Structure 1
Amino acid sequence: VQVLDAERAMVSKEWPELQVESKRPRDIEEMVTRLDSSIKFLKSYATEKDPTTVFSPRIEIENKYYSEVVAGRDAVDLLENTEQTESEIERLNSERENLSGQHDWLEPWKSMTGPVEHLRELENTTCLTGLIPHQYYEDTVAGLSELGSAVEEISHTGTLHACVVVCLNDIAGEVHKVLRSGDFEAVSFEGMYGTVRDILTNCEEKLAHTKVDLEKAKTKAGELSAERLKLQILSDHYVNLLSRENARMTAPATENVVLLEGWAKKKDYKSIEKIVAGFSASSVDEIELAEGEEVPVEIENHRSVRPFETITRLYGMPAATDMDPTVFLAPFFALFFGLCLTDAGYGLIML
């Protein structure tokens, strides 16, 4: 059924005094967003094959099971567990990246034997630690030596030298100028205690524990993924609720009555009457076409051709008096798409 909004509905044009509710169902929208995010997350940890295919994009379930999932608490609990697990994985991934970065940052300084807090406890001298690019290293060391400053190289790679610079407090300003000219990158051990090797060992232990916890969280995500059908059912339920609320919000209404105007296939009209009859204070009637009103177009094809309807809808629906081109497009699309894949495969083989 295609439900028209107030702007397109003919009843709005005949009775312009009808009102439209503008309040959005934010709680339902939030729930749909949460469910979509959790389903996407669980799919990335799924261990079993996706039961849906191109020709069968939906999973068939019984009405009883659908009602149980929607009315029960299990799906909501699963959603909350999924969100907690996703947050835990994000936290552990961030912690792992931070620890790995800290480990790589400390690695050049592991040959320092003294506790790093001693570097902050000097009274008459200033101790600076940092990295000097290789192309500026000799000139920087020479400039520091002229000032009477001592430089100890801790380690070096092909491009950087890890150094400790010690100078009297009186010449610290001049030393900073020389270091800036040498593109010196300061490294701070603020908040750290013990030797660099001890800090590295502690960092490695934390990193190992984090990796173990991360694997446990991923395993839990895989277990939760096996039950994601419940979330998909609940998502369909809330998407339907949202569609219903959006239709109600945009439909013309009085203080006590909502008027839903739309189009339905002739073969579906009896089913609509039966559905509406199940609700009290509700009725459905056919109305005459208004002058100049256009009839929407819908296409129907055999199950084997139905997947190719997407192509027709993509390029534009035929007019009401035209022939449905889907059945003619299907074999040619399949043929030429297959040729494209074949040529690509042949090209890869030749490479």
Structure 2
Amino acid sequence: MIVKMKFLSITGPIHDIDRVSDVYLSKYEMQLEHAISELKTTENLLPFVELNPYKESLTKAEQFVSMLPEGNAKPDLSHTPEEMMDLIREVNHNYLNYQEQIEALEKEKTSLHEKLNVLEPFQPLDFELQDVTHYKYMRVKFGRIDVDYFHKLEKYLFEDLNAIFLEGARDANYVYGCYFTANTDSGKVDSVFNSLHFERISLPEGFSGTPATAYQELSQAITEKSKEIEQLEKETTEMLADNASNLLGARKRLEELTNNFDVRKMAARIDDKNDKLEDYYILCGWMGEDDVNAFIEETKNDDKVFVVVEEDREKFFGDPPTKLKNPKIFKPFEMFIQMYGLPDHSEIDPTIFVALTYTFIFGAMFGDVGQGFCLFAGGGILYLLKKINLAGIISVAGIFSMFFGFMFGSVFGFENVIEAHWLRPVEAMTKLPFVGQLNTVFVIAIAFGMGLNILVMIFQIINAVRSHNTGELLFSNNGIAGLVFYGFLVLTIVLYMSGHTVPGNIFMVIFLGLPILAFLFKEPLTNLVEKNHKKLETGKVMFLVQGFFELFETMLSYFSNTLSYVRIGAFAVSHAAIMEVVLMLSGATDGGSINWFGIVLGNLIVCGLEGLIVGIQVLRLEYYEMFSRFYKGTGREFKPFTNHSAGHK
């Protein structure tokens, strides 16, 4: 059902707006509208321009809470907003101090890593770095050379190059090492090495001992830095953990205060031009009728809150938002309504109708006790654990699948376990006049579709009455004229197929001819009834031509819409036939040994794939065959400003 909404305005001293938001609005679901836009007739309205003082502290609180270790800390809500903000500032100061120290250590660690990477390939060199880098008559240069050029270098060294090359580490591409040469030969030697693409590498300064010793010193220094960083991170975590309850409480309370303060975005200030009185705030929006009554009752003794309920909603822009309220078992089916479009306040809420018809049709198309139980149990568990609406729908549909499984006598495809309490879809046949032998479930499916078509036409008549749409009520193909035409046609077919006397020609003319004329002349008849002297937009000839084709489309829609329900019987038969194939392939029909793995696998495949297809086909029937006759779904969703869900108790 659709919750009846009322538009109300809330006014009070401007300094009291936070208290009102915190004490009252947090208890009720209210869709706030922009007061300045809605209350155009009210003078001296100004917007709020204050910045939210809680937003920055809330952001920090959320950051620190996300860093808390898992535990059972409970939020401490005993602090005032000022105390909570001071707490956040203190924690943030300590946190930034730790982070600054960690960042400095990380930089030092990165620098040490860079030096370590430089020294690593020179570890095999066995000499004192401090000595070789300070020779007076010799020069030493470190670097790397491509493996291919290194072979050429060896040739030069053996022949006439006055230099010594000491090899360090080697990888797939390069040979690392250093060369020694006398000062007098350094120019020539450097030229040769440069021609062989020797890449100079500058070793870090300040190290004594061999490269291997320097490498160990660097590794130890990096380890020490890592320990210092870990210690600071541990202290940071401990600092946050010590304040866990306060941080959790601050986040919760600051979130509420932030939401309450943000009410100002939708509110307006009533400016007192004489500056003699305090400025007032004004809030306006939509609230459910029960909430409105409870809200007024709660605030009647509060002299700082003044509430006005506006009964004449036409003065405001737009219709009320739509809020659905249905029993818990039907709640998941609201998902289908939201997918199509919410009803406006002049329409029937089709949630219960969809819930009953969807699950009933699904069960008829997918009748199996065993598979239905799997859908019921699996969907129910998922819905209870994860609150997935589709899982709840599947679970309820599984109940009807089990019901029709008993009616059809089918358990996981086996039809010899229980007796059919009604019929076997594949075997049951009915003899009809003119048609001959026809599967019984097809006949019942079409009859069921006819009944649904009549029902949704009644829904359309109710909607037309509620929206005061005379044309749709009287002359529409889904209104009274359509109901008379289709109902009489269905009655005639039923009488003929059951061997009874059909109505005479006079009744045919009255109950079929007159509605057809109503369809054809819907526009001028509507203008006549509503006393609207509007002329036809097209000429008479074009009006008749257009009316003829629309009438043809209407007749075709009645026919196709009715035949569309044949799919109910078709899927009931096909499901039984598919399971018979599964049993045959698994050896369950020839009296031999049964392949139980094949039985289980076949049932899983059928339950998954066919269940999905049936679910889509039933949804198609709902949307295209039923909704198209009575439902528009033009309502707008009710969106309460706050996220509080406690509600009024």
> Normalised by the shorter chain, which TM-score bucket?
0.5 to 0.7
Q: Which whole-Å deviations, capped at 9, do the CAs of 1:256-277 have from their partners, x for residues lacking one?
A: 2332222333333355447767
TM-score, normalised by the number of residues in structure 1? 0.66
1:1-351 equivalences under 5 Å are 1-5=30-34, 9-11=37-39, 13-15=40-42, 18-22=45-49, 24-25=51-52, 28-42=54-68, 46-48=69-71, 65-68=76-79, 70=81, 72=83, 75-76=87-88, 77-85=90-98, 96=109, 99-100=112-113, 102-116=115-129, 121=134, 127-139=140-152, 150-166=164-180, 170-171=187-188, 174=191, 177-178=194-195, 181=197, 184=199, 186-195=200-209, 196-223=211-238, 224-225=240-241, 227-255=243-271, 256-270=279-293, 272-273=295-296, 281-287=304-310, 288-289=312-313, 290-299=315-324, 318-320=342-344, 321=347, 322-324=349-351, 329-332=390-393
**2-structure distance, mates of 1:149, 1:101:** 29
**1-structure distance, mates of 2:169, 2:207:** 21
Q: Which whole-Å deviations, capped at 9, do the CAs of 1:188-230 have from their partners, x for residues lacking one?
A: 2244332334433332333333333344344445543475343
**1-structure distance, mates of 2:329, 2:101:** 44
Q: Which whole-Å deviations, capped at 9, do the CAs of 1:63-82 have from their partners, x for residues lacking one?
A: xx413375646943445445
1:156–1:71 distance in 2 versus 1, CA, 3 Å: same
**2-structure distance, mates of 1:226, 1:97:** 31
Note if contact 1:151-1:166 (Cα within 8 Å) is conserved in structure 2. yes
Which sections of structure 2, spanning at least 5 residues, go unmatched?
1-29, 272-278, 356-386, 398-603, 606-649
1:241–1:142 distance in 2 versus 1, CA, 3 Å: farther
TM-score, normalised by the number of residues in structure 2? 0.39
Report the number of matched residues.
316
Q: Which whole-Å deviations, capped at 9, do the CAs of 1:164-208 have from their partners, x for residues lacking one?
A: 2446554587367436x46x3x43224433233443333233333
1:113–1:235 distance in 2 versus 1, CA, 3 Å: same
**2-structure distance, mates of 1:216, 1:160:** 40
SS of aligned partner of 2:45:
coil
1:219–1:147 distance in 2 versus 1, CA, 3 Å: same
Which sections of structure 1, spanning at least 5 residues, go unmatched?
52-58, 337-341, 344-351
SS of aligned partner of 2:62:
helix
SS of aligned partner of 2:231:
helix
1:6–1:105 distance in 2 versus 1, CA, 3 Å: farther
Aligned letter for 1:329?
Answer: L
Aligned letter for 1:162?
Answer: Y
Asked which structure has the greater CA Rg, the reply is 2
Aligned letter for 1:187?
Answer: I
Aligned letter for 1:31?
Answer: S
1:244–1:212 distance in 2 versus 1, CA, 3 Å: same
Q: Which whole-Å deviations, capped at 9, do the CAs of 1:96-146 have from their partners, x for residues lacking one?
A: 555455434432222344454556546776543233343543346667888
**2-structure distance, mates of 1:84, 1:19:** 43
Taking only aligned residues, the RMSD between alpha carbons, in angstroms, comes to 4.7
SS of aligned partner of 2:60:
helix
**1-structure distance, mates of 2:113, 2:307:** 66
Q: Which has the higher contact order (CA 8 A, sep 6+)?
A: 1
**1-structure distance, mates of 2:56, 2:112:** 34
**1-structure distance, mates of 2:224, 2:396:** 54
**1-structure distance, mates of 2:187, 2:55:** 65
1:257–1:39 distance in 2 versus 1, CA, 3 Å: same
CA apart distance, 1:10: 0.4
